[in-house]
Amino acid sequence: MKDASKRFSFMFSTIKRQNQPSNEDNIELKEVSDAFLIENEKLIVYYDKPLGTGVCSAVYRGVLSGLAPLAKLSSLMETQKFRDCDVAVKHALHFGDHEVEQLFREIEALKIIEYDRNVISMLGWRMINDKPAIVFELAQEDLLRYVKIQKLIDKKEIPFKTIISILWQIAKGMEFISSKNIVHRDLAARNVLLTNDFQAKISDFGLAVINNTDIKETALIKKFPVRWMSIEAIAEKLFSEKSDVWAFSVLMFEVFSLGQDPYAGIETRQILRFLRSGERLSRPELATNGMYEMMCSCWEENLETRPKFEELVVKLHDVLESESGYSKYYEELELLQEQGGSGQSNLNNSVALEVLDDDSL
């Protein structure tokens, strides 16, 4: 534990230089992060069972012994289930400035969130081979992979009620995140995880920022998910709940197109011009007119006229609870398909994180 504490002190001083928080924030971050530290013998990581690999990190299956630090620190009954459980271990592949910055953002955001059933829970952290690893509750797959699998079955067998429920849960999770004054900034189908019973869990807070009062990014982060970003986020690097609402609607496009890339065939540097001309993503084949109207309301250029997440929660809940169930959904889709018109073809794979450079947009 002494070695781990020394390594954390180095990590903490690096984070401090990167982010320059106040002295009180420094003390609080170190105290809480130390409290989240998992003892070496309490965590087993199965490196032969990778769950996913990204540019900066890899995720492996693991087992946590005893009560998770989150459960010890939290007064919520829901967190007490995190004991002697299977977990996901997100292990940094490198430990440079970019990784430190993402780690700081993720730990800080999840520390504030603590627990919500529609947000992935951070159970604790530890150092592995001198690199930080964050331990999360385990989910089975990501939403993007799930909707792509639906391509393999007959359209009449697609479980629309489950899909609407997932979207409703994501909106609920984002409403909670927004209530904590956090802007996610990387909401996309790839960053929503699903459990076996189809609970949706919003994940990946590496780009998150705290203080939801229209945050203007200056120079710290150079790579953003441009294809999920609002006009003001691309043009002015201005982020708020309303830019997350825009991204949620792009996620809806991904879901109703069964995993199609946003703006397929359009180069990144052309997206801002495309949006400013009034163009938007077309209605995906599996979205009814009502769903597409909801999506378009989230893509209003004037962010003040976009709905908040609390409004989207109500609208999606109304769809879920409608008396006709989702049989009416099938009928509306069949009528739309008979009339012709659907989404764009999937011409190429978009890059999730792209350089947001004023000279190239």
| CATH entry, 2-137, from 3.40.250.10, 3.40.50.720, 3.90.78.10, 3.30.200.20 | 3.30.200.20
Q: Active-site positions?
A: 186
Q: What is the mean pLDDT of residues 27-55?
A: 78
Q: pLDDT band at residue 53, thresholds of 50, 70 and 90?
A: confident
**What's the whole-model pTM score?**
0.86
Q: Of 8, 128, 2, nearest to 60 (Cα)?
A: 128
Domain-wise residue ranges, the chain: 2-137, 141-360
Q: Of 134, 32, 119, 48, nearest to 88 (Cα)?
A: 134
Cβ neighbour number for residue 167 with a 10 Å cutoff: 25
In the 8-state DSSP scheme, what is residue 257? Answer: T
What are 62-106's pLDDT values in tens digits? 999 999 999 999 889 999 999 999 999 998 777 676 776 777 778
Task: Using CB atoms within 10 Å of the CB of residue 315, give its burial: 0 to 12 exposed, 13 to 18 middle, 19+ buried.
Answer: middle
Q: In the prediction, which pLDDT does 97 show?
A: 64
Domain 141-360 part of CATH 1.10.510.10: yes
Q: Of 73, 144, 153, nearest to 349 (Cα)?
A: 144
> Which residue bears the tokens 């994940």?
203
